[in-house]
Amino acid sequence: METRWDCGETVRVVRNVRNDGTFPGQETGALLVRRGSLGTIVDVGTFLLDQIIYAVHFLGIDRIVGCREEELIGAGDPWLPAVFEARQKVMVNRILSIGGDVCVPAGGRGEILRVVCDGEAPVYHVHFDCLPGRMFAVPEKALDPVMEMSYA
C-alpha cells in the first residue's frame, strides 16, 4: 500500500473525529478533533492490513489521533469551513419544496446528520422534525442555528 503523506507533513482533518472506543480516557463518541484542524503526521501504520492509518499530532490541542486517509487533506489544499456541525439543531429560513410541494415550512426545525464539503459550498444532510424518517440535503445559506433555551 502506498501512503499519500509521510512523517513530518502537515495535514488538515476534513471531518470531526470522534472516539470510536479506541482512544483512552475519553468516552465513546466524544469529539477528539474538530473538522478543519491542522496537524503533523508523526507515524503511519495499517489497520486490518487494508487501511492506512496516520497518527496525527494536533499541536493546538496537544493530542495524537489516528486518522484514515479519507479524513485528511494536505494543509495547502482548498478548504471549505462550515458554519454548522453534525448533531447541531438548526431551522430553515425558507420553504423547502420538491416539485412545488412544500416539504418543510420556513422555520422548520431539524438536526444535522452530516456535513458534506465536497463542492463549492458546504451542504448539510438534515433530518427535520416534521418529516420523520426523511433526510434533506440543504445548503448552508438556507439554515439558521437554533438557540437552546437555558432555564438556570
* pLDDT score at 150: 55
| CATH of the domain spanning 89-145 | 2.30.30
Highest CATH level, class, for 10-74: mainly beta
pLDDT over 70 at 152, yes or no: no
Domain with CATH 2.30.30 in the chain: 10-74, 89-145
Flag whether the pTM goes above 0.75: no
C-alpha cell at 136: 434533506
DSSP for residue 5: -
Q: Where does the pLDDT of residue 3 fall: very low under 50, low under 70, confident under 90, or very high at 90 and above?
A: confident
12, 75 Cβ separation under 8 angstroms: yes
Residues whose CB falls within 8 Å of the CB of residue 96, separated by 6 or more in sequence, listed in order: 102, 103, 104, 108, 136, 138, 142
Phi, psi of 136, deg, nearest 5: -120, 145
Burial grade of 28 (CB within 10 A; 0-12, 13-18, 19 or more): exposed
